[in-house]
C-alpha cells in the first residue's frame, strides 16, 4: 500500500486548495486596497483644502476657536465623503463614525499649524491623516489575516490676505502740450480756452469756446487719482505703501519725498500746471535714486517686515526737446531694470519718438501703455494700480 500512488493528486489538491483560494482572495483584496487608498487620498485632500479655505475667512473669532471649527469642518468632510461612497470591505465603525465618536479620533486626525505672513497676515498649514480599516474577504482570511489598516495624508496651505509692500515713484510730464485739449468734453464747464498745437502760440490769451474739453493735465490728475485710490483701498492703514512724485518740463521740478500712503503724492500732482518744454532725463534719474535708496528698505523693514517691490511710473505726451535726454533716460531705465525696479510707462497722445522712448524704457512689453484718449490714460493708470496693489492669497497642495 505504501507504493500505491492512487489518490495523490486529490491529496495534493486538497493541501494546495487553501493556498490557491487564499491567493485569489489576496488578488481581490489588493485591488480593493488600491481603490480604497485612492478614495481615501481624495477625501483627505478635499478635507484639508476645505479646512484651509475656511481658516482664511474666520477673522471674527479667536485663533483657538478657528482651529477647533476648522478641525470639525475637516472631520465632517471626511464623514460626508465616506458616507457618499460604497463601504464594501470597510469596517462599519470607520464608515459610520461621527465627529464626536472616539473611533473617529482614532481613525482621522487634523493638525493645524499657524505662522506669520508679513506684519498682519497669517499662514495656515492643515494636515489631515485619514485612517480606515479594510476587512479581508473570506478567502484571504484563510491565510490567517483578518484586516489591514490603511492611511493617507494630505496637506493644504492657505494665507490670509497680505499686502505686498511697495515703494512707487511717479515721473510726470507737465510740459506746455499737457495744457492742450483731449477729445473728451468737460461737462463741468460750458466753455473754456481749448488749446491745441495750432493755437498754442496764443497762450494764455486764447478766447473761450464751446464746448469745453478736458485738458491732458486734468486727465492726468484724474488718472493718478484713480491709481492712488486703489493703493489706498489695498492699504487703508498705510502700513505697506510709500509713494512720491516728480514732475518735469524743460527741467526737473522739485521732487517729492517718499512717504507712507498717498496724500502727499496726491497734493503734489493736483498742483501741477502745464508749461514749458520737455526733458525727462534728470527726473527719471531722481525717481530711480529715491525709490532704490537704502532708507526705503529700512523704512519698510521697521514697519511691515518686508522688502518692498520698487516701481517707477513714467509718463509723457511728447518728445524730449533734445535727443540727449532720450539717451539719459534710457540709460537710467536700463539701470532700473538691472536692479529689479518695475518700470511702467504711459505714452499719452505722444508722437512716434516719444512712444519709442517709453516702449524701450518699460521693464517688459506688458508694462508699456499707449493712451490716445483721456479714458485710455485713466484705464492705463488703473491697470498699473491693480497690478501694484495686488494682494497675495494662496491655496496650495
Residue 153 cell numbers, joined: 495624508
Confirm if 170 and 244 have CB atoms less than 8 A apart: yes
Domain count, the chain: 2
Answer yes or no: do 69 and 179 share one domain.
Answer: no
Answer yes or no: do 236 and 353 share one domain.
Answer: yes
Answer yes or no: do 157 and 176 share one domain.
Answer: no
Last residue of a domain, one of 129, 147, 162: 162
In a domain? residue 397:
no
In a domain? residue 264:
yes
Local confidence band at 26 (pLDDT 50, 70, 90 cut-offs): low
Give the pairing of strands 213-215 and 181-185: antiparallel
In a domain? residue 47:
yes
Answer yes or no: do 157 and 215 share one domain.
Answer: no
Answer yes or no: do 295 and 339 share one domain.
Answer: yes
Residue of 203, 361, 348, 214 whose CA lies nearest to 281: 361
Q: Please count the other Cβ atoms lying within 10 Å of the Cβ belonging to residue 151.
A: 14
Answer yes or no: do 179 and 157 share one domain.
Answer: no
Residue 389 cell numbers, joined: 496693489
Answer yes or no: do 322 and 220 share one domain.
Answer: yes
Answer yes or no: do 97 and 238 share one domain.
Answer: no
Answer yes or no: do 153 and 132 share one domain.
Answer: yes
**What CATH number does residue 370 fall under?**
3.40.50.410
In a domain? residue 88:
yes
Give 66 or 290, the one with higher predicted confidence.
290
Residue 24 cell numbers, joined: 485569489
What are the pLDDT digits (tens) for 326-377?
999 999 999 999 999 999 999 999 999 999 999 999 999 999 999 999 999 9
What are the pLDDT digits (tens) for 209-267?
999 999 999 999 999 999 999 999 888 889 999 999 999 999 999 999 999 999 999 99
> Tell me, what DSSP letter sits at residue 206?
P
Model pTM score: 0.64
In a domain? residue 230:
yes
* Distance from C-alpha of 36 to C-alpha of 129, rounded to nearest angstrom: 15
Residue 386 reports pLDDT greater than 90: no
Answer yes or no: do 264 and 357 share one domain.
Answer: yes
Last residue of a domain, one of 105, 140, 162: 162
* Distance from C-alpha of 218 to C-alpha of 13, rounded to nearest angstrom: 99
C-alpha triplet 46, 51, 53: angle, nearest 5°: 95
In a domain? residue 16:
no
Q: What is the pLDDT of residue 31?
A: 80
Print the domain residue range for 178. 166-389
What are the pLDDT digits (tens) for 106-163?
478 999 998 887 666 788 999 999 888 888 877 677 667 788 888 899 999 887 756 6
* Distance from C-alpha of 147 to C-alpha of 168, rounded to nearest angstrom: 64
In a domain? residue 395:
no
Last residue of a domain, one of 114, 143, 162: 162
Confirm if 116 and 122 have CB atoms less than 8 A apart: yes
Distance separating the N- and C-terminal Cα atoms of the chain: 71
The set of residues, in sequence order, having a beta carbon less than 8 Å from that of 232 and lying 6+ positions away, is: 241, 261, 262
Contacts 24+ apart (CB under 8 A), 323-328: 324/281, 325/278, 325/279, 325/280, 325/281, 326/281, 326/353, 326/357, 327/281, 328/281, 328/282, 328/284, 328/285
Answer yes or no: do 244 and 377 share one domain.
Answer: yes
In a domain? residue 15:
no
Answer yes or no: do 134 and 221 share one domain.
Answer: no
Amino acid at each position: 500500500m505504501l507504493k500505491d500512488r492512487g489518490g495523490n493528486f486529490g491529496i495534493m489538491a486538497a493541501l494546495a486548495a487553501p493556498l490557491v483560494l487564499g491567493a485569489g482572495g489576496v488578488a481581490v483584496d489588493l485591488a480593493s486596497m488600491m481603490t480604497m487608498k485612492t478614495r481615501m487620498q481624495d477625501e483627505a485632500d478635499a478635507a484639508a483644502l476645505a479646512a484651509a479655505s475656511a481658516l482664511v475667512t474666520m477673522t471674527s473669532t479667536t485663533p483657538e476657536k478657528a482651529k477647533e471649527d476648522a478641525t470639525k469642518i475637516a472631520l465632517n468632510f471626511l464623514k460626508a465623503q465616506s458616507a457618499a461612497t460604497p463601504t464594501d470591505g470597510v469596517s462599519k465603525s470607520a464608515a459610520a463614525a461621527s465627529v464626536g465618536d472616539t473611533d473617529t479620533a482614532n481613525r482621522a486626525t487634523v493638525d493645524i499649524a499657524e505662522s506669520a505672513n508679513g506684519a498682519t497676515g497669517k499662514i495656515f498649514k492643515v494636515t489631515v491623516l485619514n485612517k480606515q480599516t479594510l476587512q479581508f474577504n473570506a478567502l484571504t482570511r484563510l491565510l490567517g489575516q483578518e484586516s489591514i489598516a490603511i492611511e493617507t495624508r494630505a496637506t493644504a496651505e492657505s494665507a490670509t490676505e497680505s499686502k505686498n509692500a511697495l515703494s512707487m515713484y511717479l515721473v510726470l510730464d507737465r510740459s506746455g502740450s499737457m495744457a492742450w485739449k483731449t477729445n473728451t468734453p468737460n461737462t463741468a464747464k460750458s466753455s473754456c480756452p481749448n488749446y491745441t498745437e495750432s493755437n498754442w502760440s496764443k497762450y494764455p490769451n486764447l478766447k473761450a469756446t464751446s464746448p469745453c474739453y478736458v485738458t491732458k493735465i486734468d486727465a492726468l490728475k484724474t488718472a493718478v487719482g484713480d491709481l492712488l485710490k486703489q493703493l489706498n483701498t489695498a492699504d487703508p492703514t498705510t502700513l505697506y505703501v510709500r509713494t512720491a512724485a516728480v514732475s518735469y518740463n524743460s527741467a526737473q521740478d522739485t521732487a517729492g519725498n517718499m512717504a507712507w500712503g498717498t496724500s502727499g503724492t496726491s497734493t503734489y500732482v493736483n498742483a501741477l500746471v502745464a508749461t514749458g518744454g520737455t526733458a525727462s532725463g534728470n527726473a527719471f534719474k531722481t525717481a530711480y535714486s529715491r525709490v532704490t535708496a537704502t532708507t526705503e528698505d529700512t523704512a519698510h523693514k521697521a514697519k511691515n517686515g518686508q522688502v518692498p517691490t520698487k516701481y517707477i511710473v513714467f509718463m509723457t505726451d511728447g518728445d524730449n526737446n533734445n535727443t540727449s535726454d532720450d539717451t539719459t533716460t534710457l540709460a537710467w531705465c536700463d539701470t532700473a531694470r538691472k536692479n529689479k525696479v518695475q518700470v511702467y510707462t504711459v505714452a499719452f497722445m505722444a508722437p512716434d519718438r516719444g512712444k519709442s522712448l517709453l516702449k524701450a524704457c518699460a521693464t517688459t512689453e506688458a508694462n508699456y501703455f499707449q493712451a490716445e484718449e483721456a479714458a485710455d490714460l485713466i484705464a492705463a493708470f488703473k491697470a498699473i494700480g491693480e497690478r501694484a496693489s495686488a494682494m497675495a492669497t494662496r491655496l496650495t497642495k
